[in-house]
Amino acid sequence: MKFLDQAKIYVKAGDGGSGSASFRREKFVEFGGPDGGDGGSGGSIVFVAERNLNTLIDFRYQQHFKAEKGQDGKGKKKTGKSGKDLILKVPMGTQIFEEDNNTLIDDFTKSDQKIFVANGGKGGLGNVRFKSSTNRAPRKKTDGNKGESFWIWLQLKVIADIGIVGMPNSGKSSLLSVLTSAKPKIANYPFTTINPNLGVANYNNKEVTLADIPGLIEGAHEGIGLGDKFLRHIERCKNILHLIDITNKNVLESYYKVRKELSKYSNKLIKKREIIVFNKVDMISEEEINEKINAFKKELKKNIYTISALKNKGLKTIKKILVNYVHW
């Protein structure tokens, strides 16, 4: 399924039906009096968060959405049928903004969360409502109110327990594929991943949702390499798994480059709990591995875990650690 994390759409709630100016007509009843019913209410535009969705791609092919109008009132005091609400499903993590793409209307953080975005118009009043002691045969009735209508922006920020970050070609997609049932595109060149991928890892009957965030390069926070679009998906991740290619000449430099981009985008990102993992340990000697780990720990004094996503080495330990991070 193609990925889309932003869309501009037009929503139009249904107009209310008009009231009826009707009079009771029966045999042998000369002055039956008013019996016009009210118009039905227009349908509303309702958004619902869906756990199994992870893209806004449906909104690329259709930008205009209209709910049903309410039906007009009828004689015999019959109220018009209300228009049906239009239900639009969006992924968890979707935010709705006004047309300026800056003013937040609402935020979907839970599955099945329901939000009424555009309200349908109320139905008009039938002439029976205007009967009085001084006006026994009113012809007055009112039209229904217009339903709300406006342009809105939908923005998706992926929600996951763990966000996998790192430089391009560090093995993030490979790690996601072996930890979960996700099938991201994998190749040995930078920027293979151009959209976030989601997967669910299971360990001891506990689940952890992981998001593979496209590789970050220097200047990502300013939009270089579409970095700002990638970084916003990390905002919703509860923890960060920082994956580093141990074959890099300077693993510390690789680490600091990513941390710099995270901090420049938002201080909140570097305050998230972080798991540091060295990947591709199958490609260098044990001596080189220990040398790089010791140099890294000497400066940062942080726990480091080693894996080979390609050779399935160290993955059981990583799964256990991830579950403990999420379910501690």
pLDDT tens digits, one per residue of 24-72: 887 766 667 899 999 999 999 999 999 888 889 899 899 999 999 999 9
Is the entire prediction scored with pTM above 0.85?
no
Highest mean pLDDT among 48-52, 178-182, 202-206: 48-52
Is it the case that residue 195 has pLDDT exceeding 50?
yes
Indicate the range of 22-31, 167-176, 241-250, 267-276 predicted with least confidence.
Answer: 22-31
Fold (CATH) for 162-327:
Rossmann fold (3.40.50)
pLDDT band at 226 (very low <50, low <70, confident <90, very high): very low
For domain 1-156, the CATH superfamily is: GTP1/OBG domain (2.70.210.12)
* Whether pLDDT at 242 is above 70: yes
Domain ranges of the chain: 1-156, 162-327
Give the pLDDT confidence score for residue 189 in this predicted structure: 35
Q: Determine the average pLDDT of the residues in 188-205.
A: 63
- Mean pLDDT for all residues in the chain: 86
Q: For residue range 101-126, list pLDDT tens digits in order.
A: 999 999 998 889 999 999 999 999 99
Distance CA 170, CA 88 (A): 37
The average pLDDT across 188-200 equals 56
Q: State the distance between the two ends of the chain, measured CA to CA, in whole angstroms.
A: 34
The answer to whether residue 296 scores a pLDDT higher than 60 is yes
